[in-house]
Structure 1
Amino acid sequence: MLSSLVNVLDRLFRVLLALLMATMVLCVTWQIVSRYLLGDPSPWTEELARFLLIWIGLLGGSFAYHVKMHLGLDLISAKFEGRARFWHEVFVHLLVIFFAATVLVAGGLSIVQLTAELQQHSAALGVSMSLVYCSLPISGVMLIFYAVIALVEAVRARRIDTAVSAAEVKS
């Protein structure tokens, strides 16, 4: 059940990130064409590219964490073995959950609420800035979800390793 949910989320994430990237590439390409070939730069493309980059960076970071492609979180763990590695991984996942809950979710919801109350809109596109800032709590929730999955997997792997070690000692 949980693995099927994770698989569905992974597929959605891949498609969403690919669409965001494709949109950003088209947007930047249009900016170049309109600026250098037409001589009249499009006023909205730079802002849209910036907003897309924010969403891609935050959502992509949480997805990279899930697929263990986030370089910074694996560097130190790789130096440990056995029990020390397990406890280090647990510590890192708990730290990620804490950061995501406090900074991304709580702080993100706070800034989304503030910009919605102030009715702050972007200059070129005229979209509500709260939509742009929604990337913070959404990526935070995804990061928490993926960190909990990683914790469960680490505990399961540790139990299997412990059971195998106990069986080897008995034989």
Structure 2
Amino acid sequence: MALLNQVSAQVDRACLLLAKLALTGMALTVLLQIWARYGFDYPFSWTEELARYLMIWAGLLGATCAFKRRLDPTVVQVNPEDKGLLHRAIFALTVVIFLAPILYYSFYGPNMTFERGFLWRSSNRLSQGMGINMALVGAIVPLSCAVLLLHLAALLTKHKVPQ
């Protein structure tokens, strides 16, 4: 149990660092776009696209950090650190109900067809401005879901439930 919490904390630190780097990169990219547009009267074609992709990565990585710190907006006001087994089960169930379809459709499409999954379809497309594989951009979706499930498991095992 302590190992799970340590792994969750290390992953959280990495996600926070990557989110900060993505936000910084996004801000610098937007500044470069402004400078090129108004300073040189020649805007780059790739800066808006890069800023958008960095925003996606920063937002989803930041969401995992907010979840870890319990700063995320919630629909159901259930405290997972409550000692009651029912409260913890409801909390875990709401998170899993939200994340399970996202994870499933990231990899599989209808009839469990891998080729119709989100990542496979994205891997067949290139971005217009930068020419990068769109699966690299979309990979953050299942990655952030996996990190959220790791944080959920660590949160649920953090405190012993009374028998």
Judge same fold: TM > 0.5, yes or no. Answer: yes
Q: What stretches of structure 2 of length at least 5 have no aligned partner?
A: 108-116
Which of the numbers 14, 17, 20 marks the counterpart of 1:18?
20
Instruction: Read off the aligned partner of 1:106 and give its amino acid letter.
Output: Y
Given candidates 36, 56, 59, the residue that maps to 1:57 is: 59
State whether residues 106 and 118 of structure 2, in contact with CA within 8 Å, keep that contact through their aligned partners in structure 1.
Answer: yes
Counterpart code for 1:115: S
Query: 1:34 is matched with which residue?
Result: 36
> Contact 2:16–2:62 at 8 Å: present in 1 too?
no
- The residue aligned with 2:114 is none
The C-alpha deviation readout for 1:21-44, integer Å capped at 9, x for no partner, is: 111111111111111222111110
Aligned match of 1:137:
142
Aligned match of 1:9: 11
Structure 1 or 2, whichever has the larger Rg, is 1
User: Match of 2:118?
Assistant: 111
- Identity rate of aligned residues, in percent? 28
Deviation at 1:134, TM superposition (A): 0.6
Q: How many residues align?
A: 150
Distance in 2, matches of 1:93 and 1:59, equals: 20
Q: Is the 8 A contact 1:97 1:143 kept in 2?
A: no
Q: Do structure 1's residue 151 and structure 2's residue 156 form an aligned pair?
A: yes
Alignment partner, residue 99 of structure 1: 98
Report the aligned-residue RMSD.
Answer: 2.1
State TM-score, norm by structure 2.
0.81
Superposed CA offset, 1:39-92 (max 9, x none): 11111010011111111112211221111110225x7237xx874xx6334312
Query: Which residue number in structure 2 is paired with residue 90 of structure 1?
Result: 89
Call closer, same or farther: CA 1:89–1:37 in 2, change over 3 Å: farther
- Match for 1:124: what amino acid? G
3-state SS, counterpart of residue 76 of structure 1:
coil
Larger RCO: 1 or 2 (CA < 8 Å, sep 6+):
2
Normalised to the residue count of structure 1, the TM-score between the two structures is 0.78
CA 139–82 in structure 1, closer or farther in 2 if over 3 Å, else same:
closer
The answer for unaligned runs of 5 or more in structure 1 is: 163-171
